[in-house]
Amino acid sequence: MIPDDIRAVAIATLKSIAPEIEADELRGDRPLRNQVDLDSMDWLNFLLGLNRKLKVEIPEADYAKLVTMDDVVSYLGRKLGG
């Protein structure tokens, strides 16, 4: 799976939780939770949504590595063997 496809899945997952977001306005290199109002339950659901769609297990110990959308995409890319 190429990074653009992973990003598209991640943004679709995010939009299912925060429908108000404008994907074009999201900066990939900025902390996601500074750009989108996500509480801890939303964040858990976001990661769970990625887990379900991409069949990638994300240990809780790795949550701290996932700060920006770019982090999420590269992390998932590595997990998917890309």
Partner 1 sequence: MIEFKLPSLGADMDEGTLLEWKVKPGDVVKKGQVIAVVDTAKAAVDVECWQEGTVHELVAEIGQKMPVGTVMATLLEAGEKAAPAAAPQAVLPGMEPVGTVGRRMISPAARKHAEEKGVDIDKLVGTGPHGAVTLADVDKAAAAAGAAPAVTAPAAPAADKAVEMRKAIAAAMARSKREIPHYYVGEDIPLAKALAWLQAENARRPMAERLLPAALLLKAVALALKRYPELNGYFREGSFVSVERVNLGVAVSLRQGGLIAPALLGADSKPLTRLMQELTDLVARTRAGSLRSSEMSEATITVTNLGDQGTQSVFGVIYPPQVALVGFGRVIERPWAEAGGLKVLPVVTASLSADHRVSDGHRGALFLREVADLLQRPEELDI
Interacting residue ranges for partner 1, rule: CB under 8 A: 18-20, 33, 37-41, 44-45, 47-48, 51, 57-61
Shortest Å, Cβ 48 to partner 1: 5
Task: With H, G, I as helix, E, B as strand and everything else as coil, classify residue 56.
Answer: coil
Q: Give the residue with the Cβ less far from partner 1, 6 or 46.
A: 46
Give the CA distances from residue 41 to residues 27, 49, 57, 76, 79, in Å, rounded to whole numbers and listed in that order.
22, 12, 18, 20, 23
CB nearer to partner 1: pick between 2 and 65: 65
